[in-house]
Structure 1
C-alpha cells in the first residue's frame, strides 16, 4: 500500500518516528512534509495529502499536528475525503471498518509515539467491510449534493454577468 504522511511543525518529530516505524513494513511511504521544526500552516499539508488520495497517487494518509484536530478539519474540506481523528486502536480500526476513512489524524501533543505506532498499525491492518455502507453512502451523497449545488451557483453567476 502507498501511504502518504504529513505534519505541521508541531507534529514533525512524531511524524519522523512514525516514518521509521513504517520503514519496517511493506508499505511505500510518501512524505508530504514538513521537513523541519520550522513553523508551517497545517492546512497546506492536509490539502496536499488529500489531493494525492483524490488523484489516486496514494492509497491512504496519516496526518499529524499538535492535536490532530486541525489537520482533520482541513482534510475533510477536500471533496471526497473522509479523515478521522484516531488516538487509540479502537478508533483507528473503526475509522476504516465503519467509515472507510482514507486518512487518520493524530495529535503529537496528545498521544505518545508508541501509542501512535499502534494506532497506525491498527488503521493500516483494517479493511473496510462495507458494514456501514448505507451511512457512508449518505455522507457521499450529501457531499455530492453540495458540490453540485455550488457548481450550479457558480455557473448561474457567470450567466448573469456577475
Structure 2
C-alpha cells in the first residue's frame, strides 16, 4: 500500500519515527514534510497529503501535528477525504470499519511512538465493513460534501 505522510513542526519527530515502522509492515511511504523544527503551517502539509490520496497517488494518508486537531480540520475540507483524529486503539479500528477513513491524524503531544505504532498498524490492517448501514452513512456524508462544495 502507498502511504502519504505529512507533519508540521510539532509532529515531525513522530512522523520520522513512524516512517520506518510503516515500511517494515511492507508499505511504501512518501514523506511530504515537514522536515524541520521551524514553525510551519499545518494546512500546507495536510493538503499535500490529501491531494495525493484524492489523486490516487497514495492509497491512504497519515498526518501528525501537536494535537492532530488542526490537521484533521484541514484534511476534512478536501472533497473525498474522510480523516479521523485517533489516539486510541478502539477508534483506530472503528474508524476504518465504520467510516472507511482514508486519512489518519494523530497528535505527537498527545501520544507516544509506541501507541502511535499500534494505532497505525490497526488502522492500516482494518478493512471497511461493507455493510449497507455503513455505506449508507458514507453516502450521506458524500452528499453533504457535494451540497456544500464551492463550485467556481
- TM-score calculated relative to the size of structure 2: 0.95
Residue 102 of structure 1, CA deviation: 0.5
In the other structure, the counterpart of 2:12 is 12
Residue 23 of structure 1, CA deviation: 2.3
Radius of gyration: which is bigger? 1
- TM-score calculated relative to the size of structure 1: 0.90
Aligned-partner SS, 1:10? coil
TM-align CA RMSD: 0.9
In the other structure, the counterpart of 2:102 is 102
- Over residues 48-103 of structure 1, what are the superposed CA-to-partner deviations in whole Å (9 max), with x where a residue is unaligned? 11111110000001100000000000000111111000101111111111101100
Q: Judge conservation of contact 1:95–1:104 (CA < 8 Å) in 2.
A: no
Residue 25 of structure 1, CA deviation: 1.8
In the other structure, the counterpart of 1:2 is 2
Aligned-partner SS, 1:23? helix
Residue 30 of structure 1, CA deviation: 0.4
Aligned-partner SS, 1:98? helix
- Structure 1 gaps of 5+ residues are 155-162
Residue 20 of structure 1, CA deviation: 1.8
Q: Point out 4+ residue stretches in structure 1 off by more than 3 angstroms.
A: none
In the other structure, the counterpart of 1:130 is 130
User: Counterparts of 2:93 and 2:5 in 1: how far apart (Å)?
Assistant: 18
In the other structure, the counterpart of 1:68 is 68
Kindly indicate whether structure 1 or structure 2 has the higher relative contact order, using CA contacts under 8 Å at least 6 residues apart: 2
User: Counterparts of 1:128 and 1:88 in 2: how far apart (Å)?
Assistant: 18
Aligned-partner SS, 2:99? coil
In the other structure, the counterpart of 1:160 is none
Residue 14 of structure 1, CA deviation: 0.7
In the other structure, the counterpart of 1:59 is 59
Which of these residues, 140, 143, 146, is aligned with residue 145 of structure 2?
A: 143
- Structure 2 gaps of 5+ residues are none
In the other structure, the counterpart of 1:93 is 93
User: Counterparts of 1:63 and 1:40 in 2: how far apart (Å)?
Assistant: 14
In the other structure, the counterpart of 1:118 is 118
Give the count of matched residue pairs. Answer: 150
